[in-house]
Structure 1
């Protein structure tokens, strides 16, 4: 990834920055207009910040920023600079919008608040993921935790969100916990629609420039590549299928790399439910 960042495209980076800011606005609106007035909790560090805010009376925005600072430092050193930078930009602007925008109770219906809070939150999280960042905290932490264990990454998301649901139930009653579950479900479905909820993905790149694409991948993503001979069914051209397993955080970077190395390449992305063997965990 460091090699890729040496050749920064100003327009591309500006687009990613703008997306991170727009995503932050959506996340802040989901909280200040729907979730906070209804005492319903979001997923991840945002939900943790809401819980801590109820206990300490500090603002959720400030707590969200404080929770993300140590994780961002670790992510910068261990996960990847571009991914961590745009994740922290998203968190910083989420904090800004949470403080700048008023908390307004638009509806008294807690179901509407739960659903629309989940929709806006899912749109915000899915949008920044689609462009090579994240909404911070948990995404970075999960990648770091996964290196110490062979367990699938999804279990860490499940554990943290289960803790948020149980804590919300203990603080406000099980009815609120159920509405929190509704919000988590809606937001996850929006992330599915905009990006992907699957942590590991397999990319199959069909190209007649196998050497160029493989070299570009090796320079920018530390992953093994399997090359399979192929032939175009219509053109009868000799081609290759380059198969590579990546994490969802590398999907945007992969798209850029392949498009630059061979704009005519065809890439199919599929869910990977499990990986055995030499899958590099420290990316």
Structure 2
């Protein structure tokens, strides 16, 4: 507990409040998607949320009682994954994930299941779009909704390999069970929901997106120290550059960061050189070693 308190203090109130707000928004959107569209339409979400739906539905069918509500199962299934994240990814990342999962579980539990439409296609489309936006926005703000994301990040950080087949296998099992429980047409509806959710999520944010940043600054040494302190990325220095209008001497710094790190990068620039000129190029490709920081 003392270690968690120290971690919270090291993050800072402003940054923690920003991440907490994003976690609350994700909790609200995920509860709307699940309780207004997925559950009434017998449509399954992807990842851990879909797995929690399966466990809850099977429990109800076997016992006739909802002993394991979806809100509880989302939290329980994520516990071992958060322990993995704490040891292998980063403590700040784990704390943000814990807050996000907690908000999602709370809102899913207290927002009542309400049928807005009986059309399963509409439920799949709107549920997928809302959940995809919620996940994408959470990732954009530097937090994770947990689940298979944690395993993928852990493996990528330890081995450098991507494990895209993990989500494919998990989601394949989910939609197959959806077909068994409710009929094969609902397997199709779940596939539609998962597809739309992933497309909206990618439109809002892609975790692997890399940005090339060019910083024109008067304080190169200070910014380099702060960037190295926060990120483990190289910085290329172009000395003795000259402004075309003022003809004043400046230094240009070139580096590559991930979209996940973008918010922290903006805070560093705003705090240590608010008058710096920054140009950002998206979707750059990198050859060679590039380490992703998730803490």
Q: Which residue of 2 aligns with 1:31?
A: 34
Deviation at 1:155, TM superposition (A): 4.5
For each residue in 1:221-251, what CA deviation from the matched residue of structure 2 results, as whole angstroms up to 9, or x when unmatched? 22333345666566555441422243x4333
- For the structure 1 residues 193 and 280, does the alpha-carbon distance in structure 2 shift closer, same or farther, using more than 3 Å as the test? closer
Q: Which residue of 2 aligns with 1:203?
A: 212
Q: Check whether the contact 2:237–2:251 (CA below 8 A) recurs between aligned residues.
A: no
Q: Secondary structure at the match of 1:244?
A: strand
Q: Which residue of 1 aligns with 2:55?
A: 52
- Decide which structure has the larger Cα Rg and report it: 2
- For the structure 1 residues 185 and 7, does the alpha-carbon distance in structure 2 shift closer, same or farther, using more than 3 Å as the test? same
- For the structure 1 residues 232 and 47, does the alpha-carbon distance in structure 2 shift closer, same or farther, using more than 3 Å as the test? farther
- Greater shift after overlay, 73-82 or 26-35? 73-82
TM-score of the superposition, structure 1-length normalised? 0.84
- For the structure 1 residues 66 and 231, does the alpha-carbon distance in structure 2 shift closer, same or farther, using more than 3 Å as the test? farther
- For the structure 1 residues 258 and 173, does the alpha-carbon distance in structure 2 shift closer, same or farther, using more than 3 Å as the test? farther
TM-score of the superposition, structure 2-length normalised? 0.81
Q: Check whether the contact 1:118–1:183 (CA below 8 A) recurs between aligned residues.
A: yes
Q: Secondary structure at the match of 1:41?
A: coil
User: Pairwise mapping of residues 87-98 of structure 1 onto structure 2 (< 5 A)?
Assistant: 87-98=97-108
Unaligned residue ranges in structure 2 (runs of 5+): 1-5, 61-67
- For the structure 1 residues 174 and 268, does the alpha-carbon distance in structure 2 shift closer, same or farther, using more than 3 Å as the test? farther
Q: Count how many residue pairs are aligned between Structure 1 and Structure 2.
A: 278
Deviation at 1:66, TM superposition (A): 0.4
- Greater shift after overlay, 253-262 or 135-144? 253-262
Q: Which residue of 2 aligns with 1:280?
A: 291
Unaligned residue ranges in structure 1 (runs of 5+): none
Q: Check whether the contact 1:188–1:197 (CA below 8 A) recurs between aligned residues.
A: no
Within 1, Cα distance between the matches of 2:77 and 2:148? 10
Within 2, Cα distance between the matches of 1:145 and 1:170? 32
Q: Which residue of 2 aligns with 1:176?
A: 186
CA RMSD of aligned residues (A): 2.8
Q: Secondary structure at the match of 1:147?
A: helix
User: Pairwise mapping of residues 42-191 of structure 1 onto structure 2 (< 5 A)?
Assistant: 42-57=45-60, 58-152=68-162, 154-191=164-201
Within 2, Cα distance between the matches of 1:210 and 1:5? 30
